Amino acid sequence: MSMWESPSLIDFSLDPLWRTVWERGDAQVFRASPRGVEVGEDSSGTRLAWMSSRGMDYDPERHLYLGQVDGIPVFTWMGEGDHSLREVMVVLPQVEVELAVRGVALIQYHVSHAYCSQCGNPTRAGNVGRTRVCDSCGTVHFPRTDPAIIVAITDGDDRLLLGHHEGWEQSRYSIFAGFVEAGESLEQAVCREVSEEVDVSLTDIEYQGSQPWPMPRSLMLGFTATALRKDPHPDGEEITSAQWFTREELHSAVEDGDVVLPVSASIAYRLITAWYGDGGELSGQP
């Protein structure tokens, strides 16, 4: 069992009576866009900006089915939504985080696959938004997900290696990640990325868990590993610096503002805090 394994709060099966529920006005809908989702406030805090389907004409190109929550069909309405996933993942209830992630991922897919990759003709939404269909050549296109690995590396002294990416603010540090290439296993991708970025060889590579990350369409696959050498050499292009931290050193660096950790809802932060353990608190970005 992975360290974050838990059942989804969404039932992804499609109720054959969904259209009746939609027309009756009992389906629940929230707006979203490739950029994010629309949210609001109620007595419990920040929530998705919910509305019922009552009075809406179903539009197969804009109303995308996400699943059922407590037996109620949920759709996202493609259009507006300027609150980014990074922003809302730390404030929404967990089931709404799942819905927001799924909604934005589907919308990004539909926006970017308006034409058939086989014949170049326009496609249309099919199966209540789960596919896109080309009527010209009959090809059915399914949403694309790009696997990416992310790895927390420790050494024989149980220190954690963090790196700074060239495009980040000066104090931001995180663990190491990269996309899986064609014909590559996940473990091979872990070794290659770390070798390319900091010239460190690894052993004891172990899978820990995953997280959908539709920015734009990644599935982050989390690992831990042990370094065979202790002197990282950043490539100077993607990674401009890399440093080993004890728990005490990382705690002090975060407290002093010298290190800014990833957003607290990310798998990167969860891997870091899993290593850190119960010895205190670390502050990720909200």
Do the beta carbons of residue 262 and residue 269 sit within 8 Å?
Answer: yes
Confidence of residue 246 (pLDDT cuts 50, 70, 90): very high
Q: How big is the CA angle at 156 (ends 277 and 279), to the nearest 5 degrees?
A: 15
For 78, the token pair is 């493609």
Confidence of residue 39 (pLDDT cuts 50, 70, 90): very high
pLDDT value, residue 282: 81
Cα distances from 19 to residues 7, 59, 134, 220, 285, in angstroms, run 27, 11, 23, 34, 41
Query: What average pLDDT does the chain have?
Result: 92
Superfamily of domain 146-285 in CATH is Nucleoside Triphosphate Pyrophosphohydrolase (3.90.79.10)
> Dihedral of CA 200/204/210/211: which sign?
negative
Q: To the nearest whole percent, how much of the chain has pLDDT over 70? A: 96
Lowest mean pLDDT, pick from 52-61, 125-134, 147-156, 211-220? 211-220
Mean pLDDT of the 180-201 span: 97
Lowest mean pLDDT, pick from 8-12, 52-56, 122-126, 186-190? 8-12
CATH code 3.90.79.10 region(s) in the chain: 146-285
Mean pLDDT of the 3-17 span: 78
pLDDT value, residue 5: 60
Confidence of residue 1 (pLDDT cuts 50, 70, 90): very low
**In the predicted model, is pLDDT for residue 174 greater than 50?**
yes
pLDDT value, residue 128: 94
Type of residue found at 268: A
Topology of domain 1-112 in CATH is Nucleoside Triphosphate Pyrophosphohydrolase (3.90.79)
